[in-house]
Amino acid sequence: MLPGPVDESAFAPVDKVKAEGFRFEGTIELLDETAGHIEVVQGDPNVEPELAQLPAFEFDFVQVEERLVPTRRGLIVTDHPTWNYYLEPGTVWFEAEDDGWARAAIPFALVPKGGNSTYNGTLAFLFNESRISNVWYQITQETSFQFRANFWGMSEASYEAKDLDESGEIADRYRQELSSRMPTKSVEALVDDFPGVDPSGFGTGLTPLDRTVFGVVVDGVNYMSGCTTRFGTYVHCEDLRSPSWSTAKSAFAGVALMRLAEEYGSEVVELRVADYVSEAAASPGDWSNVTFDNTIDMATGNYESLARMRDEEQFATHPFWGTTQYADKIEAAFGWPKGSEPGVNWVYHTSDTFIVTTAMGNYLDSRRPGADIFDYVVEEVFVPLGLGPGVASSLRTSDNNWQGRPYGGYGLWWIPDDIAKLSEMLLRGGTTPAGEQLLSSELVAASLQQDPSDRGVRIDDRNFYNNGFWATQYGPSQGYECEFWVVQMQGISGVVVVLMPNDTTYYYVSDGREFTWDRAVRESNEIRPHCGEGS
């Protein structure tokens, strides 16, 4: 057993010799998931032993050219008391010193039950036509602002080679998934494509070891950084699964409202929450005239404190954060007293997004009996955009083995390609690349601060909040010739997607709770001026 994780470069092909002669298809089972070790980097070092143990691992894989594709994609709920799985497509290759065996490296992530953090790692092993070596695994990177740790271990394993049902369809879907991904280049290539841009202006202001990945999306190209770990650069960076945190308030709840408005009319935003969520009647607050629009704007009028984030960050004491069953969670979400009339004061509550997501789900059920609001967004928006299958999972309440109501305010997981495609769709006004209108153009324009009559709710002198999106005003005071708006999706750990008026996007995933993009706005201005014709 090695004393700790190895450098991530060990999981990359050395000379890229194709694994020809046999192919992997069948079931891998780890026979000793308990043989793991953990080194706490941040948080309580006195962890329960089970935290170092992987959940039971018995999954099917299909080799597609040089990739090893799990047949199950998305969030996999396990019987482990703490962890669920995400499995991603890995790589297979030959190396000369392996005596004819092939090598495989499979990226995976552990996700805490009821949580949105991801702990990213790699499984590695040798295999031939009928056997598999012991499996090494390590986790050296996470996006979590509360607990960080290295995990590693070696487990005995078995491989049952067999023909899998639908393996051909799985292979075809994966080839389609790869072909639909946005082209990528390194961030450093920006200076080649846009002379005058300083690539170091992107990713700046973030503590390097807190930064998972960042990128810039311009004209259908995703300019990406590498993915940082404590043991080198993550090999499968394009498949690294990151949490949304509260960017889900924009990418899921906001998008859901825009899709409902496109399909059923803009009057959806003025529906009353109390008409669609019966639990509102028991609230100590006043929900009689609170609309979907008020709620997604964080302006319900029901709160304890107007001090910024004071209500929200009661993580240790407010029952909303400690409950997982729907009945308890919705009761806690409605637990705020009346503080003002709706639409007047902005008070940030993730619980409000849970309420409006529930309300939208019940409204959708009234139009499409049995429909689920998250599955609706996946089918009506994510799939037409070509987002990968891993984004088709949402954190839900623990009813029915964690298959209850979607949280709405956090709880998605995505790869850089998903972020890039969703961002470009919004900058196009809510359309696919082919021009199909997916979202209400009216609500998209308001969310991007393109409608002066609908700014949303004021936060302070420069910032507004509209439909789950943050917005910051720039102008002469910041050194620009005109006034313009920069819109963001934001997540608590330091997950930020910045939508700029020159149709570029800057994004980063981090866990140091650092929120900074002024330098990126300035460098993006070198790609195309924000103060263009008509500004």
DSSP string covering 214-233: EEEEETTEEEE-PPEETTEE
CA distances from 508 to 117, 198, 427, 489 (A): 15, 17, 18, 11
Q: How far apart are CA 513 and CA 534, in angstroms?
A: 36
Three-class DSSP category at 327: helix
> Which residue from 42, 69, 17 is spatially nearest to 236, judged by alpha carbons?
69
Q: How far apart are CA 472 and CA 483, in angstroms?
A: 11
DSSP 8-state assignment for residue 167: H
Mean pLDDT of the chain: 95
The domains of the chain are located at: 8-172, 179-242+415-527, 246-412
In this prediction, residue 534 has a pLDDT band, given cuts at 50, 70 and 90, of: very low
CB atoms within 10 A of CB 466: 24
Q: List the end-to-end C-alpha distance of the chain, in Å, as a whole number.
A: 62
Residues 6+ apart with CB under 8 A from 226: 213, 233, 234, 237
Neighbouring-strand partners of residue 488: 470, 498
Residues 6+ apart with CB under 8 A from 265: none
Angle between helices 350-367 and 255-264 (to 10 degrees): 30
Mean pLDDT of the 347-376 span? 98
Of 514 and 14, more confident: 514
116-172 pLDDT tens trace: 999 999 999 999 999 999 999 999 999 999 999 999 999 999 999 999 999 999 999
β-pairing, 157-161 with 58-64? unpaired
Q: How far apart are CA 352 and CA 178, in angstroms?
A: 37
| E-assigned strand segments in 435-476 | 457-458, 463-466, 469-474
> Which residue from 515, 519, 522, 531 is spatially nearest to 145, judged by alpha carbons?
515
> Which residue from 464, 513, 516, 521 is spatially nearest to 245, judged by alpha carbons?
513
Quick check: 47 pLDDT over 60? Answer: yes
420-449 pLDDT tens trace: 999 999 999 999 999 999 999 999 999 999
Mean pLDDT of the 386-405 span? 97
Place of tokens 């170091």: 200
> Cα–chain-centroid distance for residue 170?
23
Mean pLDDT of the 170-185 span? 97
Cα angle 138, 143, 145 (rounded to 5 degrees) comes to 120
pLDDT of amino acid 511: 95
Mean pLDDT of the 341-366 span? 98
CA distances from 285 to 217, 269, 301, 330, 442 (A): 43, 21, 8, 14, 31
Q: Give me the phi and psi of 313, to 5 degrees please.
A: -95, 40
Burial label for 288, CB within 10 Å (0-12, 13-18, 19+), is exposed
DSSP 8-state assignment for residue 253: I
Q: How far apart are CA 346 and CA 45, in angstroms?
A: 38
Mean pLDDT of the 386-392 span? 96
pLDDT of amino acid 18: 57
Q: How far apart are CA 212 and CA 416, in angstroms?
A: 11
Q: How far apart are CA 189 and CA 299, in angstroms?
A: 43
247-279 pLDDT tens trace: 999 999 999 999 999 999 999 999 999 999 999
Mean pLDDT of the 319-328 span? 96
366-382 pLDDT tens trace: 999 999 999 999 999 99
Structure tokens at 109: 């992530």
Q: Residue 414 in contact with residue 423, Cβ under 8 Å?
A: no
> The whole model's pTM is what?
0.96
Q: Give me the phi and psi of 217, to 5 degrees please.
A: -110, 120
pLDDT of amino acid 220: 97
Please give the CATH number for the structural domain made up of 246-412.
3.40.710.10
pLDDT of amino acid 20: 62
Q: How far apart are CA 350 and CA 461, in angstroms?
A: 23
Structure tokens at 120: 């990213």
Q: How far apart are CA 107 and CA 425, in angstroms?
A: 28
CA distances from 535 to 402, 441, 529 (A): 48, 20, 10
